[in-house]
Amino acid sequence: QLQLQESGPGLVKPSETPTLTCTVSGGSISSGSYYWGWVRQPPGKALEWIGAIYYNGNTYYSPPLKSRFTISVDTSRNQFSLRLSSVTAADTAVYYCARQSGAFGYYFDFWGQGTLVTVSS
Amino acid sequence: DIQMTQSPSTLSASVGDRVTITCRASQSISNSLAWYQQKPGKAPKLLIYMASTLESGVPSRFSGSGSGTEFTLTISSLQPDDFATYYCQQYKYYKSFGQGTKVEIK
């Protein structure tokens, strides 16, 4: 069974540039056919898609967020990562990694449990 | 970008009720729509994709319909495990989610 697990710093200060990592088990990122994405959810609010990456490094991002987020992949470790730049309190959220299925990674069929990132001084 | 609007925001219902949630897109998305169920403190769970295709393992009491700009998720007979928040998501142009519909116990 495919499993995804996020890891990250938890508490960060404003203006810092934290990186979150998603470790995939029970399947290989390099197998192709899927995109691997990030979704966030501020406390009590709705889900927001951030972006996704293919095993070969191709990425695409939500246009409003594109300038502040970078997704990368390490196929040797079966991991992909999300780097946030110059965080503010508005970036406080649970960050989920997920597998995107469908022809071009349309919908999310496997999710990690999520990791809470709190931005506070 | 495409805005997704769900109604109602909150729905109170009883076990056994037939429940319908509506999702409207700000422009046509054909059938590029998925539905998710989320329980408190948990990740979302995929229920339906392509507007009406049931994900493997999802009970048949869940069904989806619609195309273009208006979509519905129906639970034919609400079960205790179904009290949760439901989100629609479009994938016609990038991806965006609705604001959620909380189904609570009446």
Chain A residues whose beta carbon lies within 8 Å of the beta carbon of residue B87: 46-47
**Per-residue pLDDT band at A33 (split at 50, 70, 90):** confident
Q: Minimal Cα–Cα distance from A107 to chain B, Å?
A: 7
Q: Each residue of B74-84: pLDDT tens digit?
A: 999 999 999 99
Q: Each residue of B14-68: pLDDT tens digit?
A: 999 999 999 999 999 999 999 999 999 999 999 999 999 999 999 999 999 999 9
Q: How many CB atoms lie within 10 A of CB B63?
A: 17
Calculate mean pLDDT across residues A58-87.
Answer: 96
Phi, psi of A64 (to 5 degrees): -65, -20
User: According to the 3-state scheme, what is the secondary structure of chain B?
Assistant: CCCEEEECCEEEECCCCCEEEEEEECCCCCCCEEEEEECCCCCCEEEEECCCEECCCCCCCEEEEEECCEEEEEECCCCHHHCCEEEEEECCCCCEECCCEEEEEC
Q: Each residue of A49-70: pLDDT tens digit?
A: 999 999 999 999 999 999 999 9
> B45–A102: do the CB atoms touch at under 8 Å?
no
Q: Minimal Cα–Cα distance from A75 to chain B, Å?
A: 24
